């Protein structure tokens, strides 16, 4: 796995960010502005456009925003840009402002944050840290994965303030020769047991695999689909 950078780097200015106005979100690039949010080389990095749109709609300046699976720190960088107070935790922190913690046991008080964003592992497709505690080591077709994610969702509910929002960004899982795993539907059912649904968004996926002609050729020959979108579940603690 490529190492995430330890600091934000300047690069060519990207298109201006704008609020998405439908439930089908597309973004012109992984990052916005003249700097990088998080690290584009971090495997499984969240598009900063997605987080920017969520924070613009559902938070105010000064709000505390939690990302309990913070990865390369994209959420924290968007928080800085928008004058929000970012809190980032991860089992394998990639930089000093991300604190070590398991999302199943968030070290925060009850009702203490204003918004939560989480982009969890989508089964075992990506090798994050190799830590056996990592949910990315759990096959999504087993109850071990859903049980672990239930604990994460329970923790998010505990630390989120009443009548505030959270968002979960996830994709279904499929490997050739394996059963299809509808992670989105399964996690949504867990979310509904704790939260009220605000909306469900489909976010078009942009990655190197989808730009590779050989991947599309293999999908045709094998009669299967490549993952073309992520779910974005926006929920409220009512």
Residue 184 tokens read as 């989105």
CA–CA distance, 128 with 124 (Å, rounded to integer):
9
pLDDT digits (tens, 9 = 90+) for 49-95: 999 999 999 999 999 999 999 999 999 999 999 999 999 999 999 99
Low-confidence ranges of the chain (pLDDT < 70): 1-14, 123-128, 209
CATH of domain 24-236: 3.40.50.150
pTM of the predicted model, to two decimals? 0.89
pLDDT of residue 224: 84
Residue extents of the structural domains in the chain: 24-236
pLDDT value for 187: 96
What is the reported pLDDT for 113? 98
- Buried/exposed 84-98: b ≥16 CB within 10 Å, e otherwise: bbbbbbbbebbbeeb
């Amino acid at each position: 796995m490529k190492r995430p950078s330890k600091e934000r780097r300047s690069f060519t200015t990207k298109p201006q960010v704008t609020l998405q106005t439908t439930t089908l979100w597309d973004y012109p690039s992984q990052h916005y502005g003249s700097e990088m949010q998080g690290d584009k080389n971090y495997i499984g990095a969240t598009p900063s456009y997605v987080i920017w749109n969520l924070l613009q709609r559902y938070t105010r300046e000064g709000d505390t925003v939690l990302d309990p699976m913070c990865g390369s720190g994209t959420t924290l960088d968007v928080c800085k840009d928008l004058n929000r107070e970012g809190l980032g935790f991860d089992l394998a922190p990639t930089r000093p402002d991300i604190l070590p913690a398991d999302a199943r046991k968030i070290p925060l008080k009850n009702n203490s944050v204003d918004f939560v964003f989480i982009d969890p592992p989508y089964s075992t497709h990506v090798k994050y840290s190799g830590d056996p505690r990592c949910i990315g080591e759990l096959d999504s077709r087993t109850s071990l994965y859903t049980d672990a994610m239930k604990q994460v969702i329970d923790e998010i509910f505990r630390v989120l303030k009443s009548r505030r929002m959270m968002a979960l960004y996830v994709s279904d899982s499929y490997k050739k020769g394996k059963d299809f795993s509808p992670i989105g539907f399964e996690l949504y059912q867990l979310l509904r047991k704790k939260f009220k649904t605000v909306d469900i968004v489909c976010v078009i996926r942009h990655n190197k695999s989808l730009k590779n002609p050989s991947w599309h050729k293999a999908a045709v020959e094998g009669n299967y689909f490549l993952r073309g979108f992520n779910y974005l579940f926006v929920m409220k603690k009512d």
